[in-house]
Structure 1
Amino acid sequence: MNRINAIYARQSVDRADSISIESQIEFCKYELKGGSFREYKDRGYSGKNTTRPQLQQLLADIRRGEVEKVIVYKLDRISRSILDFSNMMELFQQYQVEFVSSTEKFDTSTPMGRAMLNICIVFAQLERETIQKRVCDAYYSRSQKGFHMGGKAPYGYRLEEIVMDGIHTKKLVEEPEEGEIVREIFRMYCQPETSYGDITRYYTEKGVLFYGKALIRPMLAQLLRNPAYVRADMDVYRFFRSQGTNIASDPGMFDGIHGCYLYQGRGADTDKLQNLRGHMLVVGPHEGLVSSEIWLGCRIKLLGNKTVVANRKAVNTWLAGKVKCGHCGYALMSVKTKSGKQYLRCTRRLNNKACPGCGKIYTEDVERHVYEEMVKKLREGQAPVGHRSLKEDPRVQKIYEEIEALEKEIGILVESLTGAGEILSSYIDQRVDQLDQLRRQKSEELVALSENQATPEQMERVVSNISLWDNIGFDEKRFTVDKMIIVLKILPGTVQIQWKF
């Protein structure tokens, strides 16, 4: 396949007096000395990030191996962020794409150009590490004072704006109905004979939703472990000390009224709700919902509960992530029995028996069937979508036409900003924002389509994998399934396969 030269040009909305896209392209054409090229134009976009449709299309074409050289008028046309620029240069190197800035004579095909590239990467790494440390320091400084550090409120609470130490933050405030359900959950689980399944089934049968969804075991496990709910007293303080938790608040703040925040500790790489060692506990400004006696009774019971973890993953089969229950659409998990046999279980049924499930279907039988169907599919000789250019897809053609029409209208509006009065300028800004949002949506549609396209190289790898199936590894098998199959739906006696081509 002959690779093409690409010219990328960008013009910001808020800089109508800057060099036009057409002028940028004319400058870049000199570098090609009459050679052919493909244009990528983003009109009305800032260079502060890479969320630009034509830039994303350029990067997608590079990943498909279609581009040999990228030419821009100036470095800041493709990116104003050294981090984004560094990431793009790494991509260019990976796919052996030359990069040229026509006015700055920055050319990665020359030794000086490559030296400049290496300098940019060094500074990008320095900037990354500096930002990371600054963010990390700010996070721990604020968290040690009991600030709410983002995210939605735990079930049973809502967030209200407050001022602490002169800084605006948020505080947890009880939602009465939800708060009573939380207290009921802790009272139920504190009973020795009560299990996760008892509680999830109870609330499913009552029709109670948690964040708009039926209560499932991982969600319940997370709720029961959250120290935000406990009225923290000295017993709670001693419990966390015994678990190796770093406690930022003075013992006197454990007054039996306020709840706690548990933050990820520096250097602690374990789940803070599963293993408390090395993480940080802070008394918050909110009131707890559950007495320390009940909360600790549940937490100690949880220490001996190894049956369910908060983030259960199905990794016992190379079909993981693709195989779904044909009744409810929930993921199927491959469960291993004591005899070593594995069978597929509906996670929704496992959580609260809200689905009839698929019966006892052995994982090995489904894997064998899917493998045979993949071989049959490849032998049919159907060319996958990725074997033709993405732009040959009629859906893609239509989106390109819509984007081009939007860009044309944005361009006209941008040009009319010069000399416009305040009222007209305000209208133009609003209209450009509307068009920009539409263009972003179309760009996202393009990305979604391209992600489902398999390149010829990838399909060759798939065919090779199929022919050597018994000798390849687990990850290679998952790669093959991912390139061929969208989803597998399992019903008793039936395996429905939705193919990518």
Structure 2
Amino acid sequence: MNEQKIVALYTRVSTGYQIDKDSLPFQKKELSAYCKHILHAEKMELFEDAGKSGKNTDRPAFLRMMKKIRAGEISHVVVYKIDRISRNLVDFSVMYDEFKKYRVTFISLNEQFDTSSAIGEAVLKIILVFAELERKLTSERVIGVMIDRAMSGKWNGARMPFGWKWNPETEFPEHDPIESENARTLYRVYDETHSTAKVRDYCYDNDIRTKRGGKWTTTTILNFLHNPMNKGDYRYNYRGSARGAKKPENEVIYIPGVFPPLVDPELWERVNAVIKENGAKSQTPHNPHIKKHVHVFAGGILKCSYCGASFQVSRLDKKRLNGFQPSLYVCTSRRTYRACDASGASDVIIGAFFFNYVRNLVQATKSRAKIGTPADLERILLSGDEFSRIRYIDPSDLDIIYQAIRGTIAPGSGVTYIPAPPDSDKKDVPELSGLRAEAARLSRALDRLKKAYLFDDDAMSEAEYLSTRSELTEQLTRINNKIADALTDESYSAAAELSFVNSASSFLLSYRLQGADHIVYSDFAASVDALVLKNFVNMIVDHITVKDGDPVEIVFKNGLRNRFVYQDDATV
């Protein structure tokens, strides 16, 4: 036995008058003798609960003992009878799980088992089986009672929906005098407009709040309109939990006419028929939301310049002749709460701007020896039609970008950088030769893959082609990154510092775009797997701030900030 730990002797009686074998002195005497002669324990501590019930674990001495167990101070817990520590098998099961977690041996003298032995463990497992049975039987009894109450039209204690309140005298829901009028209005507005968005807007314009005082969304409005309680019917056991999956129809309790209708049942039926019809339309194959589509700039990349909220996907734009189908994005605050007036954004603008800016940044990095001033750098970064409306890059940002590219960034800027390489040529070491050979091999593999897909009808499916191309492209990008790192002198290797530029360079090289004067994004996106584009964006970008559909800021993962001031910016 570990001498640093103690043996806990736990005793309990529910009243002060219990005698004989249930008395505290008797329990203490028996436990002490067992520990002394059988366990040969030298350090013992008595935990005694007098006049405490064993129905639950809310007992001072028991809680103090469990605290010491969790602190690792106890090696054994010894009781005279198992019901002294717990009469509730469920509580005992939970307690024993903690005993096992902290390597505490449990011993009951009366039942004669010791969990340090195989037999003792087996006996305890039998007890735990019955504990599980008790849990299930109790659960079934509770569910049975609740269902019986529901079938009798009795309320089972759920939170009151909008338009209703609880009457403690009748112990039954009734109409809330204020909310009920607003509730009927919501049904009337939907009946006229057939749009949850317009109902939401009506609520905002007329300051109609939810039950908890929050703002309505299209989802909460839909749930409210769909609640059969509003036409007087009682539905119970509909979901496994508040937001859980719907239960099978044969398990749902549905009793019509239990409550006084909040709205005319005919109006409720008419509204829900429209909801069902609109839902059926959204499930058609032509609906863009049903298709599995990868949205390149989704997932919190786009931020609203007005309110700071993320943009979310609104819908897909029409497909172009080359197969490119851009995503359209909207400010979440505008769409959900109508709390922002920001315009939407499109892949057409964002994609062309971003990929050409990254291309220009890569070109500037490679031409750093020819860049003498921040103005020279700005001319390179803003070359292209996508940037024709930009007046300038924020001077403080431009200076940091310039310092990063030149390798003279100021300490404490919080931005990592690529140091300027030494003038001497790099030596072609064997490792570099091997990397270049591997890059050439992967490039040839990509060419062969493309030809096989285009000219051999039986070679592979489109899905197989895209998957294989994505894998080869990622491998080529990693190899090109290693080549770029190897070309940096060891004295500067502390820096893969603007390492995202290496990644961007490799990415563009993989698609033969590095030397291109301009990236036509619609053609580029049509020819590249959207998931590859999305992964690349997520790899190097922290966020892109959008104002009136245009990017006004790009912040890269390394903290490099790029703010753009447009010619029509009235704040300048």
Structure 2 length-normalised TM: 0.44
Larger radius of gyration: 2
